[in-house]
Amino acid sequence: MSAGRKFKIACIGAGNVGATAAQYCLEMELGDVVLTDIAEGVPQGKALDLSETGPVRGYSCMATGTNDYKDIAGADVCIVTAGLPRKPGMTRLDLLGKNGNIITDVCKNIAEHAPDSVVIIVTNPLDVMTYLAFTKLGFPPERVVGMAGVLDSARMRSFVAMELGVSMKNVDTMVLGSHGDDMVPLPDYTTVSGIPITKLLPQDKVDAIVQRTRKGGGEIVALLKTGSAYYAPGASAARMAQAIIRDEKQILPCAAHLTGQYGLDGVYAGVPCMLGKDGVENIIELELTDDQRTALHTSSEEVQKGIDELKELGVL
């Protein structure tokens, strides 16, 4: 990526999360956005709508919509949200196989048309799909990263702020592990203006925040009834794109390829990463308690089961 030119973000999947990520990328003027989807007219219609928003919201980046992967050529960042939601009657394994095939197809096209991009995977099950994308893309591991920790920690930050009645901006936190019930929120790395929350809240309140964070996605599904969250997921993917495009060197929790860190090797897991123009430029190893380390390994074993199932299905 060279400085001084306009950047390009490909949002692959123009559904709720993809279009929301596109909206935040445009609002932050990160670059022009190409919305890509198999549904005819949907990416074109949403892109036109987003471009027409520019004069009102004061951005000059453009959005275009396409069904043709040739149009992602030259993308600096690809945000992948293409996938199917789980439908009634569909087993978890059915969904794994279907989304696995979609990610395989998407990755073939990214490798062909945007071979120098940094790829942010958002499609669930996140950690398994990110590992699959890494194997299918053939990119160096630092250019394939999963979006989970930014979202999970944003949820935890908002719950802490709500509980204490303080500004969300003052709350920092860290959530490790996989995206799901096995995630590992770290209360002792959660602070309000530098003050650990363990000094501000009684243990039962801290435990309740940890539990609510783990179930954060499900809480929204239960309320919406016909869909899942998209504002915070879209914003989180755009946040990662921002750190990469602006070469910010921000430390954000992301699903990254581990080669021995935290005692894990050859897997993707949520860990603190330094994001910059080359993608995951560094992985930070935090000191963990024995319980936290065990929880991280347990969550990684669950991801490995999903990877093994993909192998059984012939997707990997």
| Under rule CB under 6 A, residue 248 binds ligand APR | no
Considering beta carbons, is residue 13 or 65 the nearer one to ligand APR? 13
| Three-state SS sequence of the chain | CCCCCCCEEEEECCCHHHHHHHHHHHHCCCCEEEEECCCCCHHHHHHHHHHHHHHHHCCCCCEEEECCHHHHCCCCEEEECCCCCCCCCCCHHHHHHHHHHHHHHHHHHHHHHCCCCEEEECCCCHHHHHHHHHHHHCCCHHHEEECCHHHHHHHHHHHHHHHHCCCHHHEECCEEECCCCCCEECHHHCEECCEEHHHCCCHHHHHHHHHHHHCHHHHHHHHHCCCCCCHHHHHHHHHHHHHHHCCCCEEEEEEEEEECHHHCEEEEEEEEEEEECCEEEEECCCCCCHHHHHHHHHHHHHHHHHHHHHHHCCCC
**Site string (203-242) toward ligand APR, x via CB under 6 A:** -------------------------x-x--x---------
| Under rule CB under 6 A, residue 146 binds ligand APR | no
| Under rule CB under 6 A, residue 97 binds ligand APR | no
Q: Using CB under 6 A, which of 27, 29, 94, 105 touches ligand APR?
A: 105
In angstroms, give the least distance from the CB of 159 to ligand APR: 19
Considering beta carbons, is residue 75 or 288 the nearer one to ligand APR? 75
| Under rule CB under 6 A, residue 44 binds ligand APR | no
| Under rule CB under 6 A, residue 95 binds ligand APR | no
Which tokens belong to 288?
A: 């963990």
Which tokens belong to 240?
A: 């990662």
| Under rule CB under 6 A, residue 123 binds ligand APR | yes
| Under rule CB under 6 A, residue 120 binds ligand APR | no
Query: Of the candidates 187, 239, 235, which has an alpha carbon nearest to the alpha carbon of residue 214?
Result: 187
Establish whether 113 is a catalytic residue.
no
In angstroms, give the least distance from the CB of 105 to ligand APR: 5
In angstroms, give the least distance from the CB of 120 to ligand APR: 11
| Under rule CB under 6 A, residue 122 binds ligand APR | yes
Considering beta carbons, is residue 86 or 297 the nearer one to ligand APR? 86
Answer yes or no: are the C-beta atoms of 143 and 130 closer than 8 Å. no
Q: How many residues bind ligand APR (CB under 6 A)?
A: 24
| Under rule CB under 6 A, residue 127 binds ligand APR | no
Q: Using CB under 6 A, which of 61, 77, 106, 183 touches ligand APR?
A: 106
Pairing of strands 191-192, 175-176: unpaired
Query: Of the candidates 134, 132, 135, which has an alpha carbon nearest to the alpha carbon of residue 310?
Result: 132
| Under rule CB under 6 A, residue 131 binds ligand APR | no
In angstroms, give the least distance from the CB of 81 to ligand APR: 4
Part in contact with ligand APR (CB under 6 A); list of ranges 14-22, 58-66, 239-247, 304-312: 14-22
Distance CA(100)–CA(80), nearest Å, equals 13
Q: Using CB under 6 A, which of 8, 9, 15, 171 touches ligand APR?
A: 15
In angstroms, give the least distance from the CB of 123 to ligand APR: 4
| Under rule CB under 6 A, residue 11 binds ligand APR | no
Q: Residues in the site for ligand APR, rule: CB under 6 A?
A: 12-18, 37-39, 42, 81-83, 85, 102, 105-106, 122-124, 228, 230, 233
Active-site residue list: 179
